[in-house]
Amino acid sequence: MPSASNVPPWDVHRLPRAEGRTVLVTGGNAGIGYFVAEQLAGTGAVVVLGSRNPVRAEAAVRAVRSRVPDARLRTVRLDLADPSSLRASVEALGLERLDAVVHNAGVALDRPPRQETRAGDELMFGTNHLGHFALTHWLMPLLSAAPAGRVVTMGSFAAKSERLDLDDLQSRHDYRTKRTYGRSKLAQMYFGLELERRLRAASSTVTSVVVHPGGALDSLTPSRPPVHVRTGPAWARSLPAGLFLQGKHAGAWPAVRAVLDPAVRGGQLWGPRVLRLRGRPRAEPVWQQLTDTDCAARLWDAGRELTGVDPGRYLSGVSRGGEPV
Per DSSP, the residues of 59-92 read HHHHHHHHH-TT-EEEEEE--TT-GGGHHHHHHH
Give, in degrees to the nearest 5, the angle at Cα 264 between 262 and 266. 115
Active-site entry in 34, 181, 190, 314: 181
Angle at 173 between CA 172 and CA 175, to 5 degrees: 70
Dump pLDDT digits (tens) for 69-102: 999 999 999 999 999 999 999 999 999 999 999 9
Rounded to an integer, the average pLDDT of 224-236 is 82
Predicted local confidence at residue 236, as pLDDT: 67
Q: Is 175 a catalytic residue?
A: no
Task: Give pLDDT, residue 235.
Answer: 67
Burial class (CB in 10 A: 0-12, 13-18, 19+), 65: middle
Q: Assign 318 a pLDDT band (cuts: 50, 70, 90).
A: very low
Q: What pLDDT, in 10s, does the model give residues 37-62?
A: 999 999 999 999 999 999 999 999 99
